[in-house]
Amino acid sequence: MKRPNFSFWVLVFVFALGVGLRLYRLGYQSLWYDELFSVLVAKRPFSDMLSRLANSDVHPPLYYIFLHVALRIGHSDFVARLVSFLFASLSLPLFYLCVCRWLDEKVALVATGLLAISPFHVLFAQEARMYALLGFWVLGMVWFFGRAWENGRFRDWLLFTLCAVLALYTHNLAFLYLLAIDVYALLTGLRQRWRPLALAHLAAFLCLLPWVWVWVGQAERVQAGFWAAPPTPLGLFLAVYLMLFGPSAPLWLVPVGLTAVLLLIGFLLRHFLRQRHLPDGLLFPLLLFLVPLLALYGLAFIRPIFVERIFLPASLGLYVLLAWGIIHTPPVLLNRVAGGVLALALAITLVNYYTHPDVQKPPFRELAAQVSALVMPGDVVAHTSDSSALAFAWYAPELSSVSFYLAGDPDFEQMTARAYGGLGAGLRPLPAAAFLPDARRVWLVVALDHNEAYQREQVAWFEQQFPRREHVTVGKMDVLRYDVEQ
């Protein structure tokens, strides 16, 4: 029997490292706004969950179905993120197999190593949202499409279609990755093999018909009020930066990491221009990276929906390009040094991610626990932010009868996509006059995460009406206690 060689053990180490990094501190950070929406909707009875998704969310239901099942295990942040962790971990070996199909094993090993320590991928492996699941289905599409494109077997076309359907039921923008595959087919022999590809698209569309009527309503909600800003040319470069480092890189590290990346990309482009053609196997990763990025950038001029997290699968193509440059692009020594610097920058960013929680994930768990310990009979808890109101619904359900979200938030007044999400997760804004008459004391929770002017107005009103007796700070959030009884 042939003994495993050194490369095999390196690959096992890379897989183990990637899984370990995605598992480490999985439930450490509190859930943030989008995650809170996920768990508060997914924990409801199945039919109620689907109804709320259809009427309040802008995403398909597949991820929530997985999360609904997972939450039967228990009520914790660790369990809430378990689905993302599992599919992000399964993506590692599937990604390696896909790269081996395109290129050689050395490039596949380096690309998988970059993926294993990617702060961008670890972030979404530890987030109770659908992006890790989307990445897995896109890799499944890529794998089975590659097999079907080569051998034409019906089984591979069927599995490609299945992965496409699952991807589209995970995120509405999954069609961007089907578009990348279509562009590849157009450039590499569509004339001879268009029929099975067309049939696969038709079958996927027919499978989506039950959700099309819901999708129309979701598109209208996005059109009515989505939070993303209009795109700028700088947004493209920022998206590429985030595909590598996510939002957690220390400021001093940014120029170091960017220099390494620019060196790798610069030498890669110079090599392509000199050779006047792409090396075999690089076309697909290039299209996987560029087509979704450019297509969504163009669509964002019609409706600002340029959100970087949707590029999680696209970043896989970028990692392959960088890995190929590290291994094969001259000057090889300089490129490998740049690759080492990039890997070190990714590792340092990961350490920063673990030790300095992202600004999007304030310590809601600690906040809810502290307020719960302070509340006495006759007290009420009022929230100026929908984020903290949702957090208390998850972390302090025992306070549900005395925890209120103040009415008047501009997002809820204008019924933006954020408002639909909050209402779908169970928020019911109430004016202060509805709960103050029966209150002895009010604990006002202030989390200045959005609409700061409105929230400050609420604080100013309480300051004018009632004497403040206590002020507690948790992270960057404030809890103010007022005596209501005169």
Q: What is the pLDDT of residues 393-423, one digit of tens each?
A: 999 999 999 999 999 999 999 888 889 899 9
Question: CA–CA separation, 175 vs 318, rounded Å?
Answer: 19
Q: Does the pLDDT of residue 236 top 80, yes or no?
A: yes
The ranges assigned to domains in the chain are 6-355, 364-483
pLDDT in tens, 166-177: 999 999 999 999
How far apart are the C-alpha atoms of 214 and 53, rounded to whole Å? 9
362-383 average pLDDT score: 96
pLDDT level of residue 228 (50, 70, 90 thresholds): low
Q: Three-class SS of residue 207? A: helix
Least confident of 80-84, 112-116, 245-249: 245-249
Give residue 335's Cα distance to chain centre: 30
Helix (H) or strand (E) holding 227: none
- Tell me 482's DSSP state: E
Q: Find the mean pLDDT for residues 203-219.
A: 88
Give the whole-angstrom CA distance, residue 377 versus residue 316.
54
What is the pLDDT at residue 91?
A: 98
Higher pLDDT, 56 or 317: 317
pTM: 0.96
- Rounded Cα distance, 450 and 431, in Å: 19
| 86-102 confidence digits (pLDDT tens) | 999 999 999 999 999 99
